[in-house]
Amino acid sequence: MSAEKDVSKTAAEEYTIKFIPPQSGDVKTIRLPRNLFKYGVISLLAGALLFVGAFSYAVYSTFANRNGAAEIEDLRQVNSIQQEQLLQLAKKANNLQEEMNQLKKLEEDIRRLSGAQPMQENTQDNGGNSQGVDPATHDGQGGPLNIPTVQNVNDTLSVVEQGLAQRRQSLTALKEELSQRQQALGLSVVSLPGGTTPSIWPARGVVSSPYGLRWNGSDFHPGIDIANDMGTPILATADGTVRVAGWNDGGYGNMVDIDHGNGIMTRYGHAMQVAVTAGQHVHRGQVIAYMGSTGFSTGPHVHYEVRINGQPVNPSAYLH
């Protein structure tokens, strides 16, 4: 009786799995303890849940990465479009600037042919302080490469706007002068006394590259280039203290920086030879260097900048 109870108890604590072949053959029997079967089922369910969770996370990560990549690509396309639009705007601003220079040259020709008085302006962006220098043989340009920015384009458009106002005023005066048939008076160049505000040309020569956008809008030129023969003297345009005198790795070649006080600084680049030293006090009209073609340059010229509180401005307003 006790043996029967033990057998019955053992059978109750086991699960029997039988494998019956479709045709005649031996029946396979597997007996599993109840606890082992229970743990096996639990493990199987847990594994299934883990598999479903891992699969769901993988699917989610795949879609998230795809969406992130798509957003990055969209941002790249938008940035590319904006850069292209800025480049096109820079080219248009550059074309407007060139047309303004051509209009100014045309007015100069009309005044010369008609015998009218020369333009009463402080700048000569196209002719420069040439005094007999042939622009056909002096066309050196240079300076550091700067990718145009929104601020650069705005600065160039401001220069064009100012030029339009000057042209309007100058042409109105020319019309009045021609209508009165008055003979023009020659405009002499007067030497200015010493001072800390730049107000003379840094060298004799022709302006081979004005301030603003150039090279079809692909570069912003922070100064003006005045071209002449190698060794032409370069003058300090105002009293001040030399801060830099020597080689510059940023494309200026042999360079001189002069601090004039009140946040005003002038820069002279591409010199063949520097004639001053850092810390030296110089006066307006003093020779500080000699024209060359060092650094990023296509020919002998001086790259001249005027900076106010570190920001380049159009030097034309300081040329007399």
Asked if residue 311 lies in contact with residue 305, where contact means CB atoms within 8 angstroms, the answer is: no
Is 122 within 8 Å of 320 (Cβ atoms)? yes
Please list, in sequence order, all residues whose beta carbon lies within 8 angstroms of the beta carbon of residue 155, skipping any fewer than 6 positions away.
Answer: 212, 314
Closest CA relative to residue 285, chosen from 197, 200, 207: 200
Task: Give the pLDDT score at 132.
Answer: 61
In whole angstroms, give the CA distance from residue 108 to residue 114.
Answer: 10
Token reading at 130: 């040439």
pLDDT on residue 214: 82
Q: How far apart are CA 180 and CA 4, in angstroms?
A: 142
Domain locations in the chain as residue ranges: 77-181+194-318
Q: Whole-prediction pTM value?
A: 0.49
First to last CA, the chain: 130
Is 308:267 a contact under the CB 8 Å cutoff?
no
User: In this structure, is the dihedral angle defined by the CA atoms of residues 103, 105, 107 and 113, taken in order, positive or negative?
Assistant: negative
Tens place of pLDDT per residue across the chain (320 aa): 555 555 455 555 676 766 677 766 676 776 767 676 677 778 778 777 887 877 777 777 777 777 766 677 767 776 777 777 777 777 777 777 777 777 777 777 676 666 666 766 654 445 556 666 666 667 677 777 677 777 777 777 777 777 777 777 777 777 676 666 443 333 333 334 567 889 899 999 999 989 988 877 778 899 999 999 999 999 999 999 999 999 999 999 999 999 999 999 999 999 999 999 999 999 999 999 999 999 999 999 999 999 999 999 999 888 87
Residue corresponding to tokens 């007067």: 190
| Angstrom distance (rounded) from CA 183 to CA 165 | 25
Angle at 175 between CA 173 and CA 178, to 5 degrees: 105
In terms of DSSP bridges, do strands 311-313 and 301-308 run parallel, antiparallel, or are they unpaired? Answer: antiparallel
Backbone torsions φ then ψ of 156, nearest 5 degrees: -65, -40
CATH of domain 77-181+194-318: 2.70.70.10
Of 192, 211, 317, nearest to 264 by C-alpha is 317
Sign of CA dihedral 246, 252, 256, 261: negative
C-alpha distances in angstroms, 181 versus 12, 114, 115, 117, 175?
A: 131, 9, 9, 11, 10
> Among candidates 126, 70, 57, which has minimal Cα distance to 97?
126
Which regions of the chain does DSSP assign to beta strands (E)?
A: 14-19, 28-33, 206-209, 212-214, 219-221, 224-227, 233-235, 240-248, 253-261, 264-274, 281-282, 287-291, 301-308, 311-313
- Give the whole-angstrom CA distance, residue 244 versus residue 247: 9
Q: In b/e form, how buried is each residue of 282-292, taking b as 16+ CB within 10 angstroms? A: bebbbebbbbb
pLDDT of residue 248: 94
Please list, residue by residue across 232-267, b when 16 or more beta carbons sit within 10 angstroms of its beta carbon and e when fewer do. Answer: bbbbbbbbbebebbeebeebbbbbbbbbbeeebbbb
